[in-house]
Amino acid sequence: MASSIPKQQLIKAIVRLFSESKIRSRFGIKQLTEIEGRLWDIRKDDLEGFLSSTPKGDEFFIELKKRYPHKMPRTFFLVKVAPRIYTQEIANDIAKIAKRERGEALFFNSKIRAVFLEGEGVIMSAMGVLEIPIAYERMLEYQIGDPPDSDRYGEIERTYAVEHAFIWLLDGYSHGIVCCSDLTALQAILKFSQNKLNLPLSVPNMPEKVFSRLIEKTETSSATFSGFPAGVPTVTIYAKDVARSAIFQELENDPGREQTAGFFRDMDGDLFASFGISKRYARIWTPWHYSKPWLVNAGKAIIKRTQDELSAEFEKDVAGYLSYFSNVSVMLGDKKLNGGVRKIFQKLLEEILIAHKHGNEINIDDNFILDLIKFQSKLDLQICVQFDCQNCGGGLGRCPDCLVPYSVKIADGEVGISCAKCKREISMEFDVSCECGSDLSIANFKNHIQIFPGPLLQNAMEGFISQNLDELNWSGAFVIDGTLLKLLRLRGRKKGIPGLIKLGDLDVWKSKAKIEKRRINNQYVELLNITKEKCFRNGVRPTLTGCKVCTSARISEEQFHKRKELCLPRIFGLPIEKKFDGIHHGREIADIKYKDTISGISVHIGIHLKSRVKSRPQKGLGRSVYSIKSLYTQTFYSAYQTLKGEVDFDVIGISIPNPVSKDVIDSIQVLINKLGYSLIVLEEKDWLQIFDAALEASAFNPTG
């Protein structure tokens, strides 16, 4: 059987190692015939026999067979990885997983049934490469044709074949190589790497400038173009001297067309004698089987050119730079972003990169803001409105009746603002009221919109940047205030303060309220039902005057049992001798704001309160409940206002006299801690203790 050595390599070796007369004599080439051209007509096995007919030729033939082994794959995909010293950092983990063989396989319900490690990682120290051998089981289908008289003749039979692949990770490089047969296998290997090896690999799209650098000094054998009418996805040109053909020149110069792939020859190049490249999925293939050292060196050359071009593109064209990563999967929690949502995510990254280059602020287009509002739930964006009020100072826009933050939607291409609970819509055509009762002056709703990332989006952006964008040295958050996007530096959480604190961790509550010794008394549940975040004493909303009278007077036990007579802030303050009320005072940004200490460390605390709700799911209130949605918005609003420097909190809290689901608490804590704050949660059991302490304080403190 003939070797996998390219024919042109055999011809070059023969011409170099043998005299002209010997070559002509062996193959009967006439004196006037050009030797190299005639050798192309000779059978490949005859060329191999002639080359190996002398000791020197045979030695070189053996070397060529090593360079072009049969077993090496011919299709390669560039993958984006985080630059690490892989030969030292993960080789041991790979070895442990490999010992379990197929027992650690990832299974699929597709043409690829299973993917697993075929063996321990191979460290090629001299080249700084870790090779991870992969095996996968591919479904094969065929029609039964033997024996011809079989009852099952012509039926479809399915079986599975084991195929082989490997991942190459290069020390210090931000790209690796996956060698496998096709895109179906690649997709399965990427999932296996993520789920079983905890090694995220991303498949990029090759930019035009990288594509151009890889094919410079080559001769084009075929070219594939896209950008044609529906039903004609691509057109491929095959011709001698393709690059000089009229149709190639026409398509290449047409701004509506793009060359997306091609096949090229480069006899003297430093990559391959001939190879194909597809921009999509950064795929490279060759007709020959090359040796590992050759492939590694070629891979390093390709990766270096790619990284050089990406660095240059980052400086010149942010959109072009990010287009390289347009194929990279983005997960928000367990959901993958697709289609228009994925494009909006990419556009948001683009605006962040531009802002990073221009003093951390940039004005963004109105249409992009509309897109963000449209896709807010799918992108985990928190969107609210902020109003200025001459009476109370204003702040987060809330429905004055429901005390629920206004929701922002797109209706008929315009921004619409309404209460998600009572459906009240506000319009600039009519007076807009603050929750304190004052009228607000509004010229354009868009100027009052605030947009900031929720925990899923914040995690997704941080992961995407750290995994892919080597040129971006930034870690933080963003907020969109009107049309101005601002990048915010994350603050460090106060040293010595845990990420999640309890009421019993606060020194004032331990010393004055003896909260740790309070039992949870269920007889106070009825008090939780009749006490709201704001009182409605005498049938009117709280006012500055009314609150001042309340905080100056003693609270009787009878008042505790009177519906809507007292507010939750007032109750909260009684055990610790604080006079909180249910009305805002000039942009307080939280319902309760005060100073306390934790193990002697001073902390500024801001807590958002919600009234008890009737819903009592077994696992606690979830995010679908209006009150919990409101707490999400209010909590993150406070956090981002603090990052902007408008207020100073060390601890931000949520409070509702119901059990709250662990998922809600965890998701809020993740982002609050990431932004540099501790979280305090006051739920039903805490409020039962607070009421116990408040009743006692009211009985023994005649001044209230």
Q: Cα dist. 16→20, 48, 327, 569 in Å?
A: 9, 14, 46, 92
From the centroid of its chain, how far is CA 17?
Answer: 56
Structure tokens at 295: 């492939």
Asked whether 319 and 353 are in contact (CB, 8 A), the reply is no
State the pLDDT at residue 497: 93
Report helix, strand or coil for 36: helix
3-state DSSP assignment of residue 146 = coil
Amino acid occupying residue 406: Y
pLDDT confidence of residue 589: 80
What the chain holds in terms of domains, given with CATH numbers, is: 7-67 (no CATH), 70-218+266-317 (no CATH), 331-489 (no CATH), 500-700 (3.40.91)
User: What is the pLDDT, as a whole number, of residue 597?
Assistant: 96
Instruction: Give kind and range of the element (H or E) at residue 508.
Output: helix 507-511
Buried b (16+ CB within 10 A) or exposed e, 359-373: ebebebeeebbebbb
What is the gyration radius of the CA atoms in the chain, in angstroms? 35
Tokens of 466: 């750290």
pLDDT along the chain (704 residues), means of 10: 78 92 91 91 91 91 78 82 90 89 89 93 89 93 87 89 92 92 92 92 85 82 82 80 86 86 74 81 82 80 87 90 89 91 96 93 93 94 84 75 86 85 78 73 78 92 90 88 90 91 95 91 92 89 86 91 93 94 68 94 94 87 89 89 85 95 93 92 96 90 58
Q: Name the residue among 671, 684, 619, 646 with its Cα closest to residue 499.
A: 671
Q: pTM for the whole thing? A: 0.76
Q: Which two tokens stand for residue 395?
A: 């702040």
pLDDT of residue 600: 94
**How far is 39 from 26, CA to CA, in rounded Å?**
11
- The one-letter amino acid code at 698 reads S
Q: Which of 415, 346, 344 shows the shortest CA–CA distance to 375? A: 344
Q: What's residue 231's pLDDT? A: 65
DSSP state of 74: S
Q: Is the dihedral of CA 9, 12, 17, 18 positive or negative?
A: positive
Nearest to 262 by CA among 245, 9, 87: 245
- CA–centroid distance for 162 within its chain: 33
CA distance 311 to 648: 39
Q: Which residues pair with 274 in a beta bridge?
A: 265
- Three-class secondary structure of residue 181 per DSSP: coil
CB 590 within 8 A of CB 606: yes
Strand 500-501 to 484-489 pairing: unpaired
Residue 696 and residue 388: Cα distance in Å, rounded? 39
DSSP state of 320: H
Question: Two tokens at 374?
Answer: 């449209």
Measured in degrees and rounded to the nearest 5, phi and psi for residue 356 equal -60, -35
Contact predicate 506/596, CB 8 Å: yes
In terms of Cα–Cα distance, which of 639, 656, 660 is closest to 690? Answer: 656
What distances in angstroms separate CA 42 from CA 35, 72, 387, one per listed residue?
11, 26, 84
355: nearest Cα among 485, 468, 457: 485
